[in-house]
């Protein structure tokens, strides 16, 4: 329980056996009253076993579906088990669970809350095509959602019952669909979105890519996904 609400933390994980135990332990330590569901997205390592040993509930997908597939599975679990709030956290440890109560607080007036960097807390900066993609995404999505959004690809978000019900039946599986397209879809259906500033930490395992070519491809794909999301119903 957080502020009288039943909260489920959903952690989509793909081959994260190196960091998942620590993330689960930290969440359970900081937030004793919440349930943790690790959705193992077809890992080939011991992610599911390690997560279960750390005290998380585990839903193990038979093969890799992508973050969107893992998340819909998590939202279906939240809906079927009657949770008031579902919160998504990355398995690499970059999201600090101490911000969870702050996100949950906002859900009284808002349907979907995004934990955003660049919003005044923590230090994080990017340059080049990746930066242009972020500016483009936040510019367009802020207009669609009628609220200021600076970190649209953040995987740190909290949803209330109404949004859980929607995400349990509809959640795109495509690249960037889990972040960009869900925001457009949610805003268009009249749900209220708001962001809350959070500080992100260095990842516990794995490294982000810095190649300029990859950044350009990212920009192109972000543009394509955004355009498609806007012309879809």
Partner 1 sequence: MKLTLVTGLTGLILLATIVELLRRRQLREKYGMLWLGVLVIVIPLSLFPRLLDNVAELLGVASGVSLVLFLGIVFLLLVCVHLSWEVSHLEEETRTLAEDFALLRAQIDADRAARDELVSHDG
51 scored as a contact of partner 1 (CB under 8 A) = no
80 scored as a contact of partner 1 (CB under 8 A) = yes
Query: Residues with Cβ < 8 Å from 3, sequence gap 6 or more?
Result: 101, 104, 105
- Residue with Cβ nearer partner 1 (77 or 99): 77
Distance CA 107, CA 158 (A): 8
Question: In the range 170-189, which residues lie near partner 1 by CB under 8 A?
Answer: 173
Q: Burial level of 94, CB count in 10 A (0-12/13-18/19+)?
A: buried
65 scored as a contact of partner 1 (CB under 8 A) = yes
SS3 assignment, position 143: helix
- Residue with Cβ nearer partner 1 (76 or 102): 76
SS3 assignment, position 152: coil
72 scored as a contact of partner 1 (CB under 8 A) = yes
57 scored as a contact of partner 1 (CB under 8 A) = yes
| CA atoms 163, 164, 165, 169: torsion sign | positive
60 scored as a contact of partner 1 (CB under 8 A) = yes
List the one residue out of 48, 68, 67, 44 whose CA is nearest residue 56: 48
| Helix (H), strand (E) at residue 196 | strand 193-197
62 scored as a contact of partner 1 (CB under 8 A) = yes
Using the rule CB under 8 A, give the single segment among 76-84, 97-105, 135-143, 178-186 that binds partner 1.
76-84
- The site map against partner 1 for 22-41 (x = CB under 8 A) is ---------------x-xx-
Q: Residues in the site for partner 1, rule: CB under 8 A?
A: 37, 39-40, 52, 57-63, 65, 69, 72-73, 76-77, 80, 173
């Amino acid at each position: 329980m957080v502020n009288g609400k039943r909260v489920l933390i959903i952690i989509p994980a793909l081959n994260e056996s190196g960091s998942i135990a620590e993330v689960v332990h930290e969440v359970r330590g900081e937030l004793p009253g919440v349930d943790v569901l690790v959705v193992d997205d077809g890992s080939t390592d011991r992610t599911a076993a390690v997560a279960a040993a750390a005290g998380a509930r585990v839903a193990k997908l038979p093969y890799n579906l992508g973050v969107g597939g893992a998340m819909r599975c998590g939202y279906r679990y939240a809906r079927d088990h009657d949770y008031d709030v579902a919160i998504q956290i990355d398995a690499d440890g970059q999201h600090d669970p101490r911000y969870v109560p702050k996100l949950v607080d906002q859900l009284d007036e808002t349907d979907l809350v995004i934990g955003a960097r660049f919003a005044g807390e923590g230090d994080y900066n990017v340059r080049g095509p990746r930066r242009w993609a972020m500016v483009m995404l936040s510019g367009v999505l802020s207009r669609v959602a009628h609220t200021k959004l600076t970190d649209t690809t953040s995987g740190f978000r909290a949803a209330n019952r109404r949004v859980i019900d929607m995400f349990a039946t509809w959640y795109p599986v495509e690249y960037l669909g889990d972040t960009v397209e869900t925001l457009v879809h949610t805003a268009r259906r009249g749900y209220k979105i708001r962001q809350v500033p959070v500080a992100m930490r260095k990842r516990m395992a794995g490294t982000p890519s810095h190649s300029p070519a990859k950044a350009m491809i990212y920009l192109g794909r972000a543009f394509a996904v955004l355009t498609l999301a806007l012309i879809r119903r």
